[in-house]
Structure 1
Amino acid sequence: MEASITFGDDALAARAAEAARELAAAGVPEALAAGDPTLWGPAAESQAADRLGWLDLPTTSRSLLPRLAELAERAREQEVEHVVLAGMGGSSLAAEVICASADVPLTVLDTTDPAQVRRVLADRPERTLVVLASKSGTTVETDAHRRLYERAFRDAGIDPATRILVVTDPGSPLEQTGIESGYTVVQADPRVGGRYSALSAFGLVPSALAGADVARLLDEAAEVRPLLALPEGNPGLELGAALGAAALAGRDKLVLDASLSATTGLPDWIEQLVAESTGKQGRGILPVAGGEPTGVPDEIVAGIATDGAVRADGPLGAQFLVWEYATAIAGRMLGVDPFDQPNVAEAKDGTARILAEAGEGPLPTGAPVLVDGPVEAYGDLPADVKDLSGALTWLLSAIPERGYLAVTAFLDREAAFEVPVPPDASFEVLTDIWAAHDAATLQGLLAVRTDRPVTFGWGPRYLHSTGQYHKGGPQDGVFLQITGDVPDDLPVPGRPYTLGRLQLAQALGDLDALRGRGRPAVRLHLTDREAGVRHLLAAAREV
């Protein structure tokens, strides 16, 4: 299957064609394909010069294939059947898509939720191989996962050096830790930013260990790579021109629809790529994954092998490269540096500050402004809001004309699947039961009550994805954050905090950053997680 871009919206097609012609006349396609770092202006040049290695990955990553084959063979000899990828954002999203699309099992650990982490730790430790992935080598979540798995392996009588593998940039603190601990270390290409790293060691190492055909991905990307230098017949240029032209015309809400695609989860990867690359300096494109189109004027629908205003077809390896190229093009059109993330550190710094200031005392949660059953509400709610349905109604009414509602949940995203179900239940019944216990169901329930986009993200995962857009993009967001009590916490070895304490501090740190921008933000805290989710969903149905 060849990579191609088609249009189902004549107005968008005309704007995109005009933008593509202007870009081609300026020599942009050839320059980008050649790795020209000047395309995004003088301020971005030094960073871009060190972040364009992704263009060459279809070729340069082939050098990894022999080693990946050796690592996979060693894992088979160790009778590994459970591959765990501990990594955040760009260090895990691509591998998650690759393995889900290939239908090979990979457990992604991108959470600080104690229950979710404990469940993964207990799953077949004697048959587990852990891939620790962090570009910077300082990711706090991955550091916690490393410490917990080292202890878990030792408790099981297993030498961690035989079951932990590190993927990181050369010279990072994690590389040094890996070398000192005797772990296998695979160096990633330092000229590739995290969200552009799908075809690098970050995407390929865990995927190959899980059983995916990564050589095929590189073949698919290599096939489309020559097209990216062309002024015509260039799918990356066509898609990037469409995204950029639409945003400049006010259509900056990008609904991602992969409902008919053979790939699984690609919108989640695109969401991070587009949001973190474009959402800065008060500008940006808001990707909406998991949402339905509403037909509002500032929206476009991008279909992945699915009809939309713009449709992207092609195999997964080609899709990765085309979307990366298109995002770089859109960044140029919007006048932003697609390779930096100037606001990501705000939530991290806030987390560190909150933990340091609290010491061993309670975290600064404040007092609830209302309590409705197992749900406490915190924030600047109006005095006439008396219950949970009223709080949700107020949040929806607070969304500005061109704004959006972002729901973020610092909870166990697998908890719904742990709910007891009848042994003879049909798949439809199971789906209904899971949905009734899943905080993510809130996205759909609230979306049908507004014509504005509603996004949903699991914390702290989204902090490495849409979190940049929330703070650096257009300041028209309204935020609903969900946290919960932790009845059975998990200490982090060698650190002065538990996972639950870290999780709550991450939520509070992000909330501080959002409130500092004057945006409406409410935190709902579940004093009983299971009952709280059900109560929250029931309240949403009453809005």
Structure 2
Amino acid sequence: MSSDQVQAGGLTITLRGAVRSATEDALQKLRDDRVASRLAAKDASLWGPAAEPEASIRLGWVDLPESSRALLPQIAEIARAKREAGLDRVVLAGMGGSSLAPEVIAASRGARLVTLDTTDAHQVRRAVETDLERTVVVVASKSGGTVETDSHRRAFEQAFTDAGIDPAERIVVVTDPGSPLAELAAERGYPTVLADPNVGGRYSALSAFGLVPSALAGVDVEALLDEAAAVAATLADEANPALVLGAALGGFGGHDKVVLAGDTPVGMGDWIEQLVAESTGKDGVGLLPVVVEGVSAPGFAPEPDTHLVVYGETAPDAPDTVDTVVTGPLGGQFLAWEYATAVAGCLLDINPFDQPNVQESKDNTKALLELSNNGTLPTGAPLLTDGAVEVHASDAAGLADVKDLASALQTLLRSVPEDGYLAVMAYLDRDAEGDGRAASLRSGLAALTPRPVTFGWGPRFLHSTGQYHKGGPANGVFLQITGEVDADLPVPGKPYSFSRLQLAQALGDFNALAERSRPTVRLHLRDRAAGLEELNRALGAIQP
């Protein structure tokens, strides 16, 4: 199959088939509007008058390949001091934009970083009870009030204190100037790196949020900025590769599912997922990223509304059916995808810098916690119980007459509309239950439906695809998975535990989806291991 290829700054974009002509039409519009030069100059008017106030304080990411260099001496000094103190286990407590990029950076550079972006009591307990004598914790929150990160901080402070360790020697803070976390860090003597307040969380890969934990883990972050700078030098060009990628994403008409596959950079698909879903999924439109296990995985197949994308640091193995191939070093890819997503926002006529529907589930969680002073959350009675699995459902799911787990799953699969998708949302232990038992559910379900299937770990997806689920097209069907906790962990200074917080987050999002009449099913595992086995057996009993 013939293709068009654009190269500059170490980045290569290859377009194939129908996406080529669609992209050329979109590029012409972008050129007519001088989008490349205006975006490089941080013109906040690109997304229309309604978006301009938000955009005017969210374009600092364009300059990060150079502006972040001012942070390097401070970051290097903190990293040196922690290494000399023998602290070689780095834990990152952060959510969404504060965790996904550092996880990719560390994994791609072969560095060890423990990412704590969960409220699962099992996972948090392991993090706070393992090798404290050599642990340094990066507490990262743009707002300074993220409930998950605040809970992590409290748990580590308690653990350090109980072990006779001064938390000020072990906690490093990354936040925006003037945030509640910045004020607390100053009071308690925590080393603090202040991020650029004009950079939104999901665009912060090359800011202090991406650089501090990565540097503490031993990554050469200056090299990362060098890779990004090479791409930055091309961004005013009206034919630069990042602009072409944005045209392909936003201009491939009718293709609103972006199926992503790539082995390197490690974890890049999850980072792209947050960036694209949270930036574009609003006002009833958007691009749904679907991260799959590889080009041979279920779900990676041509569909009328599917844009197939393969990415890699070097030329990836991409079959002819792939529409778009993105190749380049990690730092360059970070900047290119951010730029392309902002460009796609121009073509989709949405504001790529706000997240109007994220707060709703947060508010629901807070209300549930405040109402459950006795520790009991309003879970409701299950429709049925099959072995170790309880089945709960919204009215829109249509499960009133199902008799067992397999029929409930089959009914849910059949409810996915022709232009829709199924989202799996697992509020479980990503380390213990992500060994294939839970994560394999995506591919298992995808093999049973022609529609795309996404998978997200809760609550981290609430800072990612959660925006798309509620603000994007009303064609999603949702499968939540929650589970009993064997050994709970209190949140110090709060009237709730991690298990209550996690379940409140799941129920809060369930309610937000149900109120929109989105078909939603919650499977509660009364025993996690047994429940996952039964769930996989039920999938095996379903005929495609």
| Shorter-chain TM-score above 0.5 | yes
Give secondary structure in 1 for the equivalent of 2:19. Answer: helix
Instruction: Report what 2:269 is aligned to.
Output: 267
**Aligned: 1:214 with 2:228:** no
1:78-227 matches, within 5 Å, as 78-227=85-234
User: Compared with structure 1, are the counterparts of its residues 146 and 361 closer, same or farther at alpha carbon in structure 2 (3 Å cutoff)?
Assistant: closer
Q: 1:361 Cα deviation (Å)?
A: 4.4
- Cα deviation, 1:166-185, whole Å, max 9, x if unaligned, reads 00000000001111111011
Displacement of 1:382 after TM fit?
2.9
Q: After superposition, what is the alpha-carbon deviation per residue over 1:393-426, rounded to whole angstroms, capped at 9, x for unaligned?
A: 0110000110000000111111147xxxxxxxxx
Between the aligned partners of 2:303 and 2:352, the Cα distance in structure 1 is 27
CA spacing shift, 1:361–1:84, aligned 2, 3 Å:
closer
Partner of 1:337: 351
AA matched with 1:484: G
Equivalence for 2:13: 5
SS in 2 for 1:256: strand
* Matched-pair contact (CA < 8 Å) for 1:82–1:106: yes
Deviates more, 1:168-177 or 1:355-364: 355-364
TM-score under structure 2 normalisation?
Answer: 0.94
* Corresponding residue number in structure 1 for 2:288: 286
Backbone CA RMSD of aligned residues: 1.0
Q: CA deviation at 1:252?
A: 0.6
Give the Å deviation of 1:383.
3.4
Aligned equivalents of 2:373 and 2:400: distance in 1? 33
Who is 1:73 aligned against? 80
Structure 2 unmatched runs, 5+: 1-8, 294-298
Cα distance, 1:501 vs structure 2? 0.4
Instruction: Give the Cα separation in 2 of the matches to 1:4 and 1:21.
Output: 20
Say if 2:361 and 2:505, in contact at 8 Å, map to a contact too: yes
2:429 and 2:131 map into 1 onto residues whose CA distance is 20
3-state SS of paired residue (2:91)? strand
Unpaired segments ≥5 residues, structure 1: 418-433
Q: CA deviation at 1:8?
A: 2.4
Q: Which residue in 2 is equivalent to 1:489?
A: 488
The aligned amino acid for 1:390 is S
Give the AA of the match of 1:73: R
Counterpart CA distance in 1 for 2:400 and 2:181 is 49
- Counterpart CA distance in 2 for 1:398 and 1:416 is 27
User: Aligned match of 1:403 in 404, 420, 440?
Assistant: 420
3-state SS, counterpart of residue 228 of structure 1? coil
Give the SS at the match of 1:415: coil
Residue 256 of structure 1, CA deviation: 0.6
Question: 1:431 maps to which residue?
Answer: none
Superposed counterparts of 1:354-369, under 5 Å: 354-369=368-383
Q: Deviations over 1:171-203 (max 9, x none)?
A: 000001111111011100000000000000000
- Which structure's residues are more often helix, by fraction? 1
Structure-1 residue corresponding to 2:533? 534
C-alpha displacement of 1:328: 0.2
**Secondary structure in structure 2 of the residue aligned to 1:131:** strand
Q: In the alignment, what sits opposite 2:363?
A: 349
2:410 equivalent to 1:385: no
Q: Which runs of 4+ in 1 moved over 2 A?
A: 305-308, 380-384
Matched position secondary structure for 2:215 = helix
Residues 73 and 382 from structure 1, CA distance in 2 versus in 1: closer, same or farther, beyond 3 angstroms?
closer
Deviations 1:77-130 (A, max 9, x none): 110110000000000100000000001000000000000011111111010000
Alignment equivalent of 1:257, drawn from 241, 258, 261: 261
1:474 aligned partner:
473
Larger mean CA deviation between 355-364 and 140-149 belongs to: 355-364
| Count of residue pairs brought into register by the alignment | 519
In the TM superposition, residue 290 of structure 1 has moved relative to its aligned partner by 2.3
Residue aligning to 1:370: 384
Answer yes or no: is the 8 Å Cα contact 1:343–1:471 preserved in 2. Answer: yes
User: SS state of the match for residue 486, structure 2?
Assistant: coil
After superposition, give the CA deviation of every residue in 1:478-532 in whole Å (9 maximum; x if it has no partner): 0000001112111111001000000000000000000010010010000001111
> Which secondary structure state, in structure 2, belongs to the residue aligned with residue 35 of structure 1?
coil
Q: Check conservation: 1:294, 1:452, Cα contact below 8 A.
A: no
Residue type matched to 1:5 in 2? I
532-541 vs 518-527, greater mean Cα deviation: 532-541
Letter in 1 for 2:530: A
User: Is the partner of 1:69 in helix, strand or coil?
Assistant: helix
Cα distance between partner residues in 1 of 2:386 and 2:471: 33
* Separation (CA, whole Å) in 2 of partners of 1:515 and 1:54: 36
The residue identity in structure 2 corresponding to 1:167 is V
Structure 2 contact 59–198 (Cα < 8 Å) conserved: yes
Change (3 A) 1:463 1:20: same
Partners of 1:416 and 1:43 in 2: how far apart? 43
Q: What do the CA deviations read for 1:46-68 (whole angstroms, capped 9, x no partner)?
A: 11000000000000001111112
Q: Contact conserved, 2:427 with 2:482, CA < 8 A, in 1?
A: yes
Where 2:36 maps in the other structure, the secondary structure is helix
State the TM-score, normalizing by the size of structure 1. 0.94
Counterpart position of 2:429: 412
Distance in 2 (CA, whole Å) between partners of 1:258 and 1:106 is 21
Match of residue 4 from structure 2: none
What is the identity, as a one-letter code, of the residue corresponding to 2:450? Answer: D
Q: 1:369: Cα distance to partner?
A: 0.3
Query: Is the 2:302–2:308 Cα contact (8 Å) retained in structure 1?
Result: no
Aligned-partner Cα distance in 1 for 2:365–2:292: 28
Moved more, 219-228 or 197-206: 219-228
Once the 2 structures are TM-superposed, how far is the Cα of residue 364 of structure 1 from its aligned partner? 0.6
2-structure distance, mates of 1:2, 1:60: 20
